[in-house]
Amino acid sequence: MNYYIDIRLRPDPEFPATILMGALYGKLHRALVALGADDIGVSFPEHGLRPRTLGNVLRLHGSAAALDRLMAQHWLTGMRDHIVMTDISEVPANVHHRAVRRRQFKTNAERLRRRRARRHGETLEQARESIPDSVERKVNLPFARIRSQSTGETFSLFIEHEEIQAEPVDGAFNRYGLSAGATVPWF
């Protein structure tokens, strides 16, 4: 993880940054799937919790060779008018590290009730008695709206930046560039 590329969204009067970031991140996901890459991580240096935002910068982390392979895929087709991108650059010295991971929440009471009814052979009414509305909770993490390639459905991909740490942790990244354990440089 000694190299990075910053991709910054340009302000656009027609599309909010959240829509553009979702489109950009979806394109990255498809490129990582096509490559079969598990050596490219992401971070969102401008992310925030109040307001919940991933910010306007998607930072890609990896070796120079891994980032070269990714950029050779021409995965940014259709986004070039909406972004400004740096060249592949070396990570500065003496940086911190952090894991950036996906968080999944089972918060929709109706969905949980349907699932319980199906799994336990109950009626929806019986499941409703077992699962109160109070199980729903508000999630306070930033997210990207992503369209699933397998189901065609749009879902919220919640992203958590874990605590900053002094030492890097090696490991693999999923096809969203996220990892529950491996870290990326944080600067």
Active site residues: 29
**For every residue of 72-124, which 3-state class applies, written as one string?**
CCCCCCCCHHHEEECCCEECCCCCEEEEEEEECCCCCHHHHHHHHHHHHCCCH
Contact 98, 165 (CB under 8 A): yes
CA-CA distance, 26 to 79, in Å (whole number)? 11
Nearest to 44 by CA among 181, 182, 158: 158
The answer to whether residues 167 and 155 touch, using CB atoms and an 8 Å cutoff, is no
**Helical residues (DSSP H) of the chain, grouped into ranges:** 17-35, 64-71, 109-120, 124-130
In whole angstroms, give the CA distance from residue 37 to residue 187: 23
